[in-house]
Chain A
Amino acid sequence: MQQLWKYLRRGRATAPALTPDPTPSRGFPAFRFDACIACGRCAPVCPTGVISIADDAPALVRTWSLDYRGCVRCTACQEVCPTQALVPTHQTQLAATSARDLEGVARFQLVRDQSGALVPRRYLAWRKETSHG
């Protein structure tokens, strides 16, 4: 019984690697929320289409998201990012207890500029539940 309680309390079962990866590989991009200008250039160059950017015009919110499950670590998004908001890492492992943990979502407030176009203005929130962020 005690043993069972111990297991239940332990939570995530994946143990950390005993030795660090001897040859660091090209990893998932990390997202730097404070550097992102929500320009959306990364979305169309993603070969697997896992970066999306969408506007909720009535609510004046732009949402950027990256689903790490489909990321093939090609670095195309990093190459087009004008502000280095997507930066290289050596993180290559995808173990999580929920698919939600493998998604990064950032929200930006939109304002209308002089021409009436919606432009991102203020950072609202960045949910970073993944170890890749």
Chain B
Amino acid sequence: MSNKLSEVINTLRRLEGPLQVSAGPEQVTVVTAAPALAQVCAQVAQACDARLATSVGCDERLLGRGFQVYFVFAADRAGAFITVQAELDENAPVFPSLTARLPAANWHEREMHDLLGFLPQGHPDLRPLVLHPGWPKGFFPLRKDAQLPPSPFQVAGDLDMPGVTGQGVYQLPVGPIHAGVIEPGHFRFFLDGEQILSLEAQLFYVHRGAEKLIEGRTPALALPVVERLCATCSASHAIGFCQAVEALSGVEIPPRARHLRTLYLELERLYNHLGDMGNICAGLSYHLGNYLGASSKEALVSLNAELTGHRYLMGVAALGGVRADLPGHAPERIRTVLAQAYRDLQELLSGITTSPSVLDRLENTGRLSREVALELALVGPAARASGVDRDARRDHPYLAYSDLKLLVPLRSAGDVYSRLMVRADEAQVSMDLVNQLLRTLPAGPVRTDVPPLPPRRQALSWIESPRGESVHWVQGGNDGTIYRYRLRSASYQNWPAVPQAVLGNIVPDFPLVNKSFELCYSCTDR
């Protein structure tokens, strides 16, 4: 156990209130009583310099434990995850809301309220988050005794969008169906002329009930579902889920599998970052940049197909390792494609940085302050562009990252330009990481057996996806199947930042600001 972790434990033991502290490797659990939950969470966050990483509400009545809530905090400097757990009253599942003290808990609590019927008392805004108007009252799908109604619900009624009113203030509704073939989200702008006074976003149009679907499946049958929660981070999702299952089953994967997983994760980051840079260029009508980004992305996803059989890296991860080894010619091909991608990236960057009209759109647009980024516990490039130095690969090393030299690029302005440049810098770091991995790729098997899930225990895993850290939480049931699974994707954590970043900007810059976060609806909505 590291010194830093012992410090965290000692700090937690000194906290006041009804709580028990127990520790495992890299993880500490604090069990408390429901009425003290908010108090304890706030203390943990402050005393351990920790941010809210994920939360899980769980109906554990079939495991003989009643309703449980878990709030998981990440203490980045200590390299530890701290879970605060409380049991709720079965007849009145109420707990004091954290949101007023920790704004990052806002969505987490609203989701528990929607899907499990837990009441975060004192929450300032308990409008439905996941559920849309027309959802029957008192039907909580993630409860174990939820009975699916015989016919689908009709969406009826208006969205509740408080926003801003006043003389000359008007509303502009955009979506959920957009002009391009993109994902659905409804954006309601409150405007004074072109200036955005307030933005309300209604997401969760593609809530498929994936977490419910996964319940009762064995990990092997759940893996293809997790992998398809979204297509742009499919390797991250699949590997993150495998890590959680392996942690639960106590399996160590072979060294070659560890390296190959790391390699696939960096290839995923690369094609995303280059494609996203192209998308940002599309958002400001800089077409050459858009084409360069798209062509780089195409070269990289073709490489993925050649190496793994799938352009978006689906099916690369398997429980206990990876599905198949790389083909023999892979290192040579990867180096060739990456060398070209590096040249394309330089061309793209020189196009951006030498063009005043492009820079004019990028700089100072969609500013997000460091304070807001910290308050909302943002992750990934969005956090790092606002000067929040946070990267799960370095702060909580997993797979082969502790063996690699990893630089975490940082920008401080928090505007679209910073988010673009953080991606450019990170893409170059990823190229370097891939080369390091190819040089040090160990020999040996790529897969090992994974025993059935141990019953009634849970595990956590984290992974730095292209959009930032995602957290997977897996709990085993009584019979080797999954009892509860939750994914807190990077997009989920970062969405609340978009309405903050557009304040004071003009409507035509919204697509650009939105694309600079490049958040995914699919894995947010699940």
Query: Is B221 touching A23 in the complex (CB atoms < 8 A)?
Result: no
Query: Is B224 touching A75 in the complex (CB atoms < 8 A)?
Result: no
Tell me, in angstroms, the Cα distance from A42 to B314 when the chains sit together: 20
Query: Is A74 touching B224 in the complex (CB atoms < 8 A)?
Result: yes
| Residue A100 is within 8 A (CB to CB) of chain B in the complex | no
Task: List chain A residues, Cβ under 8 A from B309.
Answer: 24-26
Q: Please, which residue of chain B has its CB at the minimum distance from the CB of A72?
A: B224
Query: Is B224 touching A23 in the complex (CB atoms < 8 A)?
Result: no
Tell me, in angstroms, the Cα distance from A50 to B351 when the chains sit together: 49
Q: Please, which residue of chain B has its CB at the minimum distance from the CB of A48?
A: B224
Query: Is B310 touching A25 in the complex (CB atoms < 8 A)?
Result: yes
Tell me, in angstroms, the Cα distance from A47 to B220 when the chains sit together: 8
Query: Is A47 touching B223 in the complex (CB atoms < 8 A)?
Result: yes
Task: List chain B residues, Cβ under 8 A from A25.
Answer: 305, 309-311
Whether A26 contacts B221 in the complex (CB less than 8 A), given A73-B315, A74-B315, A75-B315, comes out as no
Query: Is B220 touching A26 in the complex (CB atoms < 8 A)?
Result: no
| Residue A81 is within 8 A (CB to CB) of chain B in the complex | no
Task: List chain B residues, Cβ under 8 A from A58.
Answer: none
1/0 per residue, CB under 8 A from B, across A76-91: the answer is: 1000000000000000
Cross-chain contact of A45 among B220, B302, B311, B315 (Cβ < 8 A): B220
Give residues of chain A (16-37) contacting chain B, Cβ–Cβ below 8 Å.
22-26
1/0 per residue, CB under 8 A from A, across B99-115: the answer is: 00000000000000000
1/0 per residue, CB under 8 A from A, across B308-322: the answer is: 111100110000000
| Residue B123 is within 8 A (CB to CB) of chain A in the complex | no
Task: List chain B residues, Cβ under 8 A from A73.
Answer: 310, 315
Query: Is A23 touching B302 in the complex (CB atoms < 8 A)?
Result: yes
Contacts A45-B220, A47-B221 supplied; 11 other A-B pairs, CB < 8 Å: A22-B302, A23-B311, A25-B309, A25-B310, A26-B309, A47-B223, A47-B225, A72-B228, A74-B224, A75-B323, A76-B224
Query: Which residues of A approach B to under 8 Å, CB–CB?
Result: 22-26, 45, 47-48, 72-76
Query: Which residues of B approach A to under 8 Å, CB–CB?
Result: 220-221, 223-225, 228, 302, 305-306, 308-311, 314-315, 323
Shortest 7 CB-CB contacts between residues of A and residues of B: A26-B309, A23-B305, A47-B224, A23-B302, A23-B306, A47-B221, A25-B305
